[in-house]
Structure 1
Amino acid sequence: MSSKRTASGCQPSFSSTSKPSSASSLGSVGELAIRRRAQDTTTTSTVSSRPPAQPPKFSSLLPPMFVCLLMGTIWSVYVTFHVLPLLQVQLPPGMRQQQDVRAGILHLLVSQILSVFVVICYARAMLTLPGSVPDTQEWKLFGRHEVDGLRRRAALTKEVKLSGGRRHCKWCAQYKPDRCHHCRVCGTCVLRMDHHCPWIMNCVGFRNHKYFFLLVIYSVAACGFIATTLLESVRRSLEQEMAMSSRFMMVLGLVLSVIIGTLMLIFFFFHVHLMLNGMTTIEYCEKNALAHLGGANKRQSYDRGFYRNLKAVARGWCSVQDQPFGYCRPPRRRGTAQASRASPGTRPARGTETRPTPSGPPPTSPDACLPQRRAKRLFGSSLLPPPSSSS
């Protein structure tokens, strides 16, 4: 007796000729793997090998060099034409106005702290790899363990192509997790890719999204503080006798800080909107494109509330381990961490509660980790990994 199962368009139909058991489940998965392999053979001619890594071109270095030039110009103008006149370093200590000196010290400390934060976040966003697909057999497009890999991928991913097949990258020859996209500039697939930013010469993805967001926040704060305090010095320069070159540099620093601060403020509100709705820039553009064409939005919603959406961006607040999917795992109970770190054959410390650590493969998508019951309801029990037998 044959039956077909579908899961909201995410699970292709297959036939089962026996009672549900481990053997029939493996047979169904094997049959599905054969069908999927036959379907993928039509795309072997379009699958290309991953292009070799090449050194960055000079044109890609121009945006970061321009950003560094802007930051250096604003900083030098602010210190030279605003902070030093307030500190009155050219006058003897007895002739200095203490109110201006205190204001100069305060402005110097705040501006330097914000500038250091901006530089650190800019360097971390540029030098941190955004995250790539694990180079394991279960994510290979034509791996040896295709049946096991297919079962795992079907249980831990939700997004599919319009044809119903699994999402894969023809350049990297790998299956793609949810919210993963290939960047042709970087030449690799990026986990939870937001966009490629030429100003940091890197993609904004899972591992460096927090640094990029902090860079936007500190840039808005630094530009706003510099523009507010520098405006008073510009007003004084119009009332006092001053060289035209000095007045021009002060106005230039004020204009640059206002322009950059305004642009970064708009960018900040846009990314806050994306964060509160659990979206990336790519998903936002795809949603608007579907709405413009009049089609229904069939993309999965990753909005999990304010706190979880904030944790997805600020992953440093969570217990993220070496693999990029650690924050999706359920929180460990008391005593589990000590028991898992203990070496085999050793007993845990006295007074600690020992619980069995969860077995099985780690989650393989940062925003598509489904509970076991929900995965069974969506994909069927035959495509889930068999439960581990407890001794």
Structure 2
Amino acid sequence: MSGGDGRLGHVITNPEGELPPPATAPDSPRRPKQPSLLQRPCMYLACFVKSLPVLFISGIVGWSYYAYVIALLLYAMMDNPIEQILCGILYHYFFIMFFWSYGMTIFTPPGRVPDNWHLSRHATAALSSAKSEDEWKETLAKVGSKMGCNTKQRSVQGALRYCEKCECIKPDRAHHCSVCEICILKMDHHCPWVNNCVGFRNYKFFMLFLCYALLYCIFIAATSARYFVRFWSDSLSLGTAKYHIIFVFLVSILFTISIFSLFWYHVYLVTQNRSTLEQFRAPVFEDQAADKEGWSLGSLNNFKEVFGMNPLLWPFPVSTSVGDGLYFPHRRAKQFNNYHSIANSDNRVAETPTRTLVNPIISGAGTISTTQTIHSSHASSVQQSGHISALSGTVSPLSATEVVLDTNGHTRTVPVHPAYHGIDGVAPSEVVIQ
């Protein structure tokens, strides 16, 4: 539209004489950039190369099916139909469960950080403008509190864990995968044999994959060993099927050896409630203490966290893991005495004031024996006892014991240093001799 001076498109300025700010969309978390047309061929080639281990495993298992079913079941066991039926049923059970678990591990996303944990452009700019490390930590803490990102785990420097590549606050136990280029919830490791990260949502499937792979290989080796020996001890000849049976026996032995140690290593990690990354670097918590046992709730509860609460569903690769991958109960919080409390992460222990009771008893020999009991809000009690001589005024050292709850919810009595809760002994002013 033309103005009085005859110019077109005249821009109206604000009263200060400056151009008005450009209209922008509401502040929102950044989205990852889409690859350009020139980058896509390289991306497709990289995806194909990453898929080669999966194709290799699938090819080996496919060939083993032919070698076992055709060469061993139909030809080598043709004289024993009962053995054929039993071995055929068991083999197909292990085969189906193995491929089911393997497919679920490959195609199930391990879990990524939700959008509401990603910082906005304004928050990212505020972090970039920080002048010192302390200012950066304080700014990040304020941003995290405003976003509602309540985490218990901290970085080595004592700050909220922040991913500069994803521009997000990392939930507890989450880590950035350099291969997937995203932050993974409860990341264990990136496995090239499944072309996927192993994280919160597919860790159960990965465990079942290892379990059924081991059982599959052991079963093939055990049932084909007799025929493998017969090929060398007598004149049993099955043509080309003979070589398939020999090689499937040898390959199953090799895979059994390689999978055996990996499977039992992860069984140990499950019972300890640790990931592979946490096994090598202990998580740091709010109190700046590194604790490898920080997430452990007892062996059974740790197992249930991965496999779920229903034992009937443990052997099947269906999603039964407990939680959302963002928040986890930990033993340092003191309010999770068993795994049933994980459903409500807001449980709090009622605060009660600490009470100290001193009960002096005067014996006939002039010796005062005292029993001091401290009741606190930490579900434990401390008892201290000692003897005070009325004649000499000396106080004998006090012994202290504490009744605590272990991770399984059982009580046990443990000795405590005399200075427990700041109590060094029974003060003479607490005892009155009449």
Q: TM-score, normalised by structure 2?
A: 0.56
- Max radius of gyration: which structure? 2
Partners in 2 of 1:175 and 1:241 — Cα distance?
66
Deviations 1:38-69 (A, max 9, x none): xxxxxxxxxx9746475452210110011011
Contact (CA 8 Å) 1:159, 1:300: kept in 2 or not? no
Letter in 2 for 1:261: T
Quick one: structure 1 residues 317 and 181, their matched pair in 2 at CA, closer, same or farther if it must change by over 3 Å? Answer: farther
**Residue aligning to 1:302:** 295
* RMSD (Å), alpha carbons: 3.5
Displacement, 1:76?
1.2
Contact (CA 8 Å) 1:325, 1:366: kept in 2 or not? no
- One of 61, 68, 75 as aligned partner of 1:85: 75
Displacement, 1:132?
0.8
Q: Which runs of 5+ in 1 are unaligned?
A: 1-47, 89-96, 291-295, 330-362, 377-391
- Single out whichever of 62-71 and 49-58 deviates more from structure 2: 49-58
Higher relative contact order (CA 8 A, sep 6+): 1
Contact (CA 8 Å) 1:179, 1:192: kept in 2 or not? yes
- Indicate the SS of the match to 1:270: helix
- Indicate the SS of the match to 2:212: helix
Equivalent positions of 1:372-383 (< 5 A) are 372-373=347-348
Larger strand share, 1 or 2: 2
Question: Percent identity of the aligned residues?
Answer: 26
Displacement, 1:188?
0.9
- One of 111, 132, 139 as aligned partner of 2:91: 111
Contact (CA 8 Å) 1:192, 1:366: kept in 2 or not? no
Equivalent positions of 1:173-212 (< 5 A) are 173-212=167-206
Deviations 1:233-275 (A, max 9, x none): 2122221242674333221100111111221111111001101
Contact (CA 8 Å) 1:168, 1:174: kept in 2 or not? yes
**Residue aligning to 1:268:** 263
**Residue aligning to 1:277:** 272
Partners in 1 of 2:144 and 2:152 — Cα distance?
13
Quick one: structure 1 residues 131 and 316, their matched pair in 2 at CA, closer, same or farther if it must change by over 3 Å? Answer: farther
Q: Which runs of 5+ in 2 are unaligned?
A: 1-29, 36-42, 125-139, 314-318, 331-341, 352-434
Letter in 2 for 1:74: S
Partners in 2 of 1:66 and 1:203 — Cα distance?
18
1:161 aligns with 2:123: no
Contact (CA 8 Å) 1:327, 1:366: kept in 2 or not? no
Q: TM-score, normalised by structure 1?
A: 0.62
Quick one: structure 1 residues 84 and 152, their matched pair in 2 at CA, closer, same or farther if it must change by over 3 Å? Answer: farther
**Residue aligning to 1:61:** 51
Contact (CA 8 Å) 1:193, 1:203: kept in 2 or not? yes
Contact (CA 8 Å) 1:50, 1:173: kept in 2 or not? no
Quick one: structure 1 residues 241 and 147, their matched pair in 2 at CA, closer, same or farther if it must change by over 3 Å? Answer: closer
Larger helix share, 1 or 2: 1
Letter in 2 for 1:285: F
**Residue aligning to 1:123:** 103
How many residues are aligned here?
275
Quick one: structure 1 residues 285 and 58, their matched pair in 2 at CA, closer, same or farther if it must change by over 3 Å? Answer: same
1:76 aligns with 2:66: yes
